[in-house]
């Protein structure tokens, strides 16, 4: 087990040295708790258990009376205070676990804390249900009489949208209590299994992250070996992943059916505060753009490789004129911070503590969770960023992306526990914008034509992966969940759905080699957050439109942009986009965002080296 040393708030974070990358920062989780058995953690859980019981005793069955008496704000303050404590415990247990998912003690701690938090919160199910039974007129009168309560009007508005899907209190409590042995348990099985898988690549035994990384290796033989290593191990475990997918899709179908959701993705749209027709328009716009975007680009890439078509393991291959630079950690930090600062010194000031105070965990280590993320924790603390940093230019973009999430979460924090969280459709705004700022900054400093071409092509590929690939993921999920409503799915069904959407999105220039059919199995979003994936495409197209405005009318833009981030979840996306003259309901909105990708492909076609 890894124990982090206690540090003063302004002390330098612990770091892992790397001969090539320099000192890579590790998390200092002390701002949450100093360890699993920290007295503060134990005391907080004891307090939360007692407060949850007291909260239920004080308010259950009494909320309408409390509202009529002008005292509802008391309950709001208490629920936020309780959420701060439980959020802190939940955040720490997850971050502590993800540092080494192979450690059984950490896994047990995560499970124990999850069960404890679920148990104490089961007695609080009544709160939102009962709030939604308060008469609209009574609630409006309470808002008019109490400005502090009125500040929470946006939160109540979102809550009211779920009113028609609420169930009787005891059924809601049953759903909640059963989640520990239901969806949560299956999610953990997926994570634990994926963390334990080993992939054989050229007589090397690798984990998932290291194997996936080889798919971007410059050596085709290494890419092909990684592809077959992935295919073999995923195929050998396909029965388990199929079963997990079946169980979770059925679990969602049961919940949707009881609640009365019409469409398989409506619960996600509700959580995202976005209308179904907006997402449908996005999916349609991206699919119609396939010939102009992904099909065209991959055909161009095949020619650059001197091939008629690319194999599946060549899709993310670096170009012959690829950007092979290795950025040590200090260079990556400086590159991103310079880009942020040039756009807004205030934005850079918010970002600086992530590097100075142990808020980033960068190195690839045994058992560490794959990928990268930004965890918001709770408003009274700060977010934590996780990376698996290997020094590639794409890793610099990942740092810029996750740092964008982090500064967004910091800026939204003053909204408080109830309104700081941002819907997924806007949660990617700051991250993708941070990437774009960093990319443009790096491109402007690059004079070598071949290197500029490599950077442009890499950016196009990232955009295609963010927009085209994520919408293909969304289409795959729609097929899976629609088919699951008719009966249990076989691995062959999932494989077929995967190949169908991949062929449609990637086009004829990509060969879907044998073994690729099972690559759906390692995508964690399908397991953890059904239909999450369209948020990436939403965010990318939105940012493309925002950035186009920044380029043409930058005066005052940074201030409006920071205001958007500060709003957190307190405003609907239509209200937040209005100061920029953008409307996601306008069919032309998505075309505007996709047009930026198309223009980059045009530039590549015009400047491709002979």
Q: Alpha helix (H) ranges present in 69-146?
A: 72-98, 104-122, 126-131, 136-145
> DSSP class of residue 375?
E
CA 105 to chain centre: 26
What's the pLDDT score for residue 143? 96
Q: Give the pLDDT confidence score for residue 286 in this predicted structure.
A: 94
Q: Would you say 519 and 285 are in contact if contact means Cβ atoms under 8 Å apart?
A: no
Pairing of strands 204-206, 199-201: antiparallel
**Do the beta carbons of residue 560 and residue 220 sit within 8 Å?**
no
Is a pLDDT exceeding 80 seen at residue 567?
Answer: yes
> What pLDDT, on the 0 to 100 scale, is given for residue 6?
23
pLDDT of residue 4: 25
- φ and ψ at 471, to 5 degrees? -70, -35
32, 95 Cβ separation under 8 angstroms: yes
The answer to whether 274 touches 580, Cβ cutoff 8 Å, is: no
CB-CB contact of 541 with 593 (8 Å): yes
Strand partners, 15: 25
Query: Across the strands, what pairs with 360?
Result: 385
Q: Are 293 and 537 in contact (CB under 8 A)?
A: no
Reading the block at residue 455, the tokens are 């950077």
Give 5's pLDDT tier (boundaries 50, 70, 90): very low
pLDDT at residue 156 above 80?
A: yes
Rounded to an integer, what distance in angstroms lies between the CA atom of residue 115 and that of residue 11? 34
Mapping DSSP onto H, E and C, the string for 533-558 reads: CHHHHHHHHHHHHHHHHHHHCCCCHH
SS3 content of the chain, % helix, strand, coil (to 5): 65, 5, 30
Domains of the chain, each with CATH number or no CATH:
32-181 (1.20.140.70), 268-361+394-610 (1.10.1370.20)
In what helix (H) or strand (E) does residue 310 lie, and over which residues does it extend? strand 310-311
Task: Mean pLDDT check: name the lowest of 191-200, 541-550, 583-592.
Answer: 583-592
Distance (Å) of CA 609 to CA 253, 297, 318, 319, 445: 51, 15, 15, 11, 20
Decide: 190 and 298 in contact? Cβ < 8 Å.
no
Q: What is the pLDDT of residue 93?
A: 97
> If you average pLDDT over residues 352-372, what whole number do you get?
92
Report the C-alpha gap between 263 and 531 in whole angstroms.
12
Query: What is the sign, positive or negative, of the torsion defined by CA atoms of 428, 373, 565, 530?
Result: positive
Q: Mean per-residue pLDDT for 282-309?
A: 95
This prediction has a pTM of: 0.81
Pairwise CA distance, residues 583 & 312, whole Å: 37
Mean pLDDT of 327-334: 96
Those residues whose C-beta lies under 8 Å from the C-beta of residue 141, and which sit 6 or more positions away, are none
Question: Mean of the per-residue pLDDT values for the chain?
Answer: 91
DSSP state for residue 608 in the 8-state scheme: -
Q: Is 70 exceeded by the pLDDT of residue 11?
A: no
Yes or no: say if 166 and 132 are a contact pair by the CB < 8 Å rule.
Answer: yes
The pLDDT tens digits of the residues spanning 526-562 come to 999 999 899 889 988 888 888 888 888 778 999 999 9
pLDDT of residue 232: 97
The token pair at 300 is 């161009």
Query: H/E/C letters for each residue in 516-539?
Result: HHHHHHHCCHHHHCCCCCHHHHHH
Which residues does 305 contact at the CB level (< 8 Å), separation at least 6?
A: 314, 317, 319, 320
The C-alpha atoms of residue 558 and residue 347 are separated, in whole angstroms, by 9
DSSP assignment of 155-199: HHHHHHHTGGG---HHHHHHHHHHTTTTHHHHHHHHHHHHHH--E
Phi, psi of 236 (to 5 degrees): -65, -25
pLDDT band at 10 (very low <50, low <70, confident <90, very high): very low
| 418-474: pLDDT as tens digits | 999 988 778 889 998 999 999 999 999 988 888 888 889 989 998 999 899 999 999
Q: Tokens 């290795």 sit at which residue?
A: 326
Contact 471, 590 (CB under 8 A): no
Q: Please return the burial class of 445, using the count of CB atoms within 10 Å of its CB with bins 0-12, 13-18 and 19+.
A: exposed
Q: Are 505 and 469 in contact (CB under 8 A)?
A: yes
Nearest CA-CA partner of 315 in 514, 537, 510: 510
**Angle, in degrees to the nearest 10, between helices 296-304 and 449-466:** 140
584: buried, middle or exposed (CB in 10 Å: 19+, 13-18, 0-12)? buried
If you ran DSSP here, which 8-state letter would residue 257 be given?
H
| pLDDT tens track for 232-286 | 999 999 999 999 999 999 999 999 999 999 999 999 999 888 889 999 999 999 9
What does the angle CA 595 – CA 596 – CA 601 come to, to the nearest 5 degrees? 95
Per-residue pLDDT of 498-532, as tens digits, reads 999 999 999 999 999 999 999 999 999 999 999 98
In the chain the first and final C-alpha atoms are separated, in Å, by 54
SS3 assignment, position 425: helix
Residue with tokens 């973009």: 397
């Amino acid at each position: 087990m890894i124990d982090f040393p206690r540090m003063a708030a302004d002390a330098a974070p612990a770091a892992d040295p790397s001969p090539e990358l320099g000192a890579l920062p590790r998390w200092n989780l002390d701002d949450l708790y100093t360890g699993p058995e920290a007295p503060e953690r134990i005391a907080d859980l004891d307090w939360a258990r007692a407060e949850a019981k007291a909260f239920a005793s004080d308010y259950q069955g009494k909320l309408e009376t409390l509202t009529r008496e002008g005292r509802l704000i008391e309950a709001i303050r208490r629920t936020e205070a309780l959420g701060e404590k439980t959020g802190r415990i939940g955040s720490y247990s997850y971050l502590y676990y993800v540092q080494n998912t192979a450690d059984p003690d950490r896994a047990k701690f995560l499970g124990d804390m999850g069960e404890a938090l679920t148990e104490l919160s089961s007695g609080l199910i009544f709160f939102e249900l009962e709030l939604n039974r308060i008469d609209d007129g009574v609630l409006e009168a309470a808002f008019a009489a109490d400005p502090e309560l009125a500040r929470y009007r946006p939160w109540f508005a979102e809550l009211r949208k779920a009113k028609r899907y609420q169930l009787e209190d005891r059924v809601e409590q049953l759903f909640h209590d059963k989640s520990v042995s239901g969806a949560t348990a299956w999610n953990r099985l997926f994570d634990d299994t994926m963390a334990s898988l080993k992939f054989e690549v050229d007589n090397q035994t690798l984990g998932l992250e290291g194997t996936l990384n080889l798919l971007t290796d410059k050596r085709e033989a290494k890419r092909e070996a990684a592809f077959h290593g992935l295919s073999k191990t995923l195929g050998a475990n396909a029965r388990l992943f199929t079963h997990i997918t079946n169980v979770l899709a059925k679990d969602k179908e049961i919940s949707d059916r009881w609640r009365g959701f019409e469409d398989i993705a409506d619960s996600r749209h509700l959580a995202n505060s976005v209308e179904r027709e907006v997402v449908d328009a996005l999916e349609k716009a991206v699919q119609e753009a396939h010939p102009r975007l992904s099909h065209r680009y991959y055909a161009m890439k095949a020619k650059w490789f001197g091939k008629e078509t690319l194999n599946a393991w060549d899709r993310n291959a670096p170009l012959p004129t690829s950007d092979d630079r290795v950025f040590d950690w200090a260079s990556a930090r400086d590159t991103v911070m310079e880009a942020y600062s040039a756009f807004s010194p205030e934005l850079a000031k918010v970002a600086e503590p992530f590097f100075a105070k142990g808020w980033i965990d960068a190195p690839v280590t045994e058992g560490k969770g794959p990928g990268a993320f930004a965890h918001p924790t709770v408003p009274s603390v700060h977010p934590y960023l996780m990376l698996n940093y290997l020094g590639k230019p794409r890793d610099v973009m990942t740092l810029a992306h996750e740092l964008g999430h982090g500064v967004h979460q910091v800026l939204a924090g003053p909204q408080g526990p109830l309104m700081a969280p941002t819907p997924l459709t806007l949660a990617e705004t700051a991250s993708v914008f941070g990437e774009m700022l960093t990319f443009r900054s790096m491109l402007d400093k690059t004079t070598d034509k071949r290197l500029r071409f490599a950077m442009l092509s890499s950016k196009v590929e990232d955009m295609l992966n963010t927009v085209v690939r994520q919408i293909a993921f969304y289409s795959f999920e729609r097929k899976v969940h629609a088919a699951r409503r008719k009966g249990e799915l076989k691995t062959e069904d999932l494989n077929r759905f995967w190949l169908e959407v991949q062929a449609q999105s990637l086009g004829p220039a990509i060969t879907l080699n044998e073994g690729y059919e099972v690559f759906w199995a390692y995508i964690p979003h399908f397991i953890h957050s059904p239909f999450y994936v369209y948020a990436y495409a939403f965010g990318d197209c939105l940012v493309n439109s925002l950035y186009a405005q920044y380029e043409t009318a930058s005066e005052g833009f940074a201030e409006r942009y920071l205001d958007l981030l500060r709003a957190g979840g307190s405003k609907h996306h239509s209200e937040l986009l209005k100061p920029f003259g953008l409307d996601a309901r306008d069919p032309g909105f998505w075309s505007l965002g996709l047009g930026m990708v198309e223009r980059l492909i045009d530039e590549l076609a015009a400047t491709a080296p002979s």
